[in-house]
Amino acid sequence: MKNLKEILTIPRFTDLVVLNTQANLDVPLHTVEISETPDVANYLSPHSLLLTTGMAYRDSPDDLCELIAHLNSLPSAGLAVKIGRYIPKISKKVIDFADSLNFPIIQIPMNMTLGDISHKLLSYLWSDQTEEIFFSLEIQQKFAELLFKGASTSVLIDQLSHMIKQPIMLIDPFGHLATSSRNHTVEEFLTPAKKKELLAQLTAKQQEAKKESFLFKIDEGEHTLVNLIPINSDSYIPYLLVLFKVDQLAYPFSQFAIEQSLIVLALSIYKEQTIKYENRSVKLHLFHNLLHSEKNGPSMDFVKQYPIIDSLDSNYYRVVVVSIQVPKNKSFYEKEIDLFIYDFLEEYLTKTNSNLLLLPTDEDNQFVLLFKDKKDLQSTLEELYDKTFKLLTISLSFGVGDPVNQLSLFHFSYKEAKSSLENSPSKKNFVFYNTIQGINRIAENVSEEEMQHFCQSILKSLAYPTNQTNQELRKTLTTYLDCQCKISETADQLFVHRNTVKYRIEKCNQLFGQSVDDSKLSLKLRVALSLSENESADKNS
């Protein structure tokens, strides 16, 4: 990248003289402009050199100082004034003001026209920019070849870092370090503590999704220039490319070259996201199969098709329906938010909870969590709610179904979870299915005689027990089913010995002619126990 410091050493430009001693000649120079208009600073592009005769400022050094202040804020590479015709000499006041800003004031000699010096400078700059363009296209071609050969985003980041000879980081949409260059590393000049501090700053800036440069303090009195460049994809929050020491980039690397590499990086990220979406489609197919799985559980073909089912072996399954509450002011990004939150939950749960399976559904802004362990359900949901809200200020609602003891009963827990969320009288964030209320709705149109017949046909002598033995058997059966058919937990709940529970459950098996662990029978027993308990309560009241 060219600047005045380099240009003024070239013989054909030696007639140009820097008038102030504190001038910063290192500001990049992209173009040259000629103007005599007083408000020209409002229309100039950054990194330009303004040529003027100073006609509008010959009697007003204060206005010239104001022009210099505006140019400096762009930033401009400098101000070149043709001394003699309108301004015989630049006043000390103007020189001192320029020095206070380290802003260059260049004197153009009387024997040179503004057009002549502009032509020479632009010819030199355009020749340089042509070389930069060719170099940038070469970068794009090289990156494209790597992408077509299957190179990952990490490889592309390494290649870009090798070319600019500076460290690079890539921050994913969740604020995590996705990858960083290995040849030129951030650790070369940042301590672990400083790296953590920088990542915290980057995460705070990420949702703004705009190009930005800032100085980051490395040590006392030492800073490094950090450039943030969002890489646009179909994610709600973009990836963030973080470049260091861009002001020290070697020629002919330029901002245009970086833009060319961004195109290929965006394609690489999009390719990796597409693979994620394919995995999501596979999980949607799994969700459909679970809803319609065979009565006796998943078949061998089903397990082979979805190896993850092997890891779900349990006698406890509980479905939670997750609903995204997209605010009206973000409804335009509804699809992107849906994809983003699903990816966020999947990544987080993969790292923190192996007892959970996240599944997409056919509903917009709705997912399913399948728990295979009843521990920490409430705390897990609260943690997911808090992290999502902190990240996006978007609320999640959770409908929790009753647990079932076989995967073939997945659809029961799912329908209960969905129903609890849809029928919640108030918009709560955590809604648990009300089993009694659900059974009562089923029984609303059934006569008392029919209900008693149903309960007695299922529970037999345990429907309305009058003697202590049957009452104890009924209580043990109810607790056993509530504990997902676990002997130890049932014994703990009833404060009896394990063998006592085994004996009573065996008595129940003999009474019903089959094991109470059978999925079809256990469901009938749960309903009958609930209905007969409600009826007894009504009579007592």
Assess whether the previous peptide bond of 252 is cis (omega < 30° from 0). yes
Residue 224 makes CB contacts below 8 A (sequence gap 6+) with 189, 215, 216, 218, 244, 245
Percentage of the chain beyond pLDDT 70 is: 85
Q: Is-contact 439 530, C-beta < 8 A?
A: yes
Token pair 């010239």 is found at 64
Q: In the predicted model, what is the mean pLDDT of residues 419-443?
A: 65
Structure-model confidence comparison of residues 297 and 100, the more confident one:
100
Residue 449 makes CB contacts below 8 A (sequence gap 6+) with none
Q: What is the total residue count of the chain?
A: 541
Is residue 541 scored above 50 in pLDDT?
Answer: no
CA distance 407 to 418: 17
Is residue 252 scored above 60 in pLDDT?
Answer: no
The torsion defined by the Cα of 521, 527, 529 and 535, in degrees rounded to 10, comes to -150
Q: In the predicted model, what is the mean pLDDT of residues 316-327?
A: 87
Q: In the predicted model, what is the mean pLDDT of residues 313-331?
A: 84
CA distance 158 to 150: 15
Among residues 146, 147, 143, which one has the least CA distance to residue 135?
Answer: 143
Q: Tell me, rounded to whole angstroms, the distance of Cα 539 from its chain centroid.
A: 56
Residue 31: what residue type? Answer: T
How far apart, in Å, are the Cα atoms of 465 and each of 370, 457, 460, 500, 504?
37, 14, 9, 19, 15
Q: Is-contact 324 361, C-beta < 8 A?
A: no
Is residue 299 scored above 60 in pLDDT?
Answer: no
Q: What is the pLDDT of residues 491-529, one digit of tens each?
A: 999 999 999 999 999 999 999 999 998 877 887 888 888
How far apart, in Å, are the Cα atoms of 525 and each of 317, 398, 471, 506, 509?
18, 28, 15, 15, 12
Structure-model confidence comparison of residues 333 and 24, the more confident one:
24
Residue 446 makes CB contacts below 8 A (sequence gap 6+) with 454
Structure-model confidence comparison of residues 478 and 330, the more confident one:
478
Percentage of the chain beyond pLDDT 90 is: 18
Say what the pTM is.
0.54
Q: What is the pLDDT of residues 285-298, one digit of tens each?
A: 888 888 876 554 55
Q: What is the pLDDT of residues 26-74, one digit of tens each?
A: 898 888 999 888 888 888 888 899 999 888 888 888 999 999 999 998 8
How far apart, in Å, are the Cα atoms of 514 and each of 505, 508, 510, 521?
11, 9, 7, 8
Please calculate the CA angle 115-119-123 and round it to the nearest 5 degrees. 170
Which range, of 229-238, 260-269, 518-527, averages the lowest pLDDT?
A: 229-238
Residue 411 makes CB contacts below 8 A (sequence gap 6+) with 290, 291, 292, 293
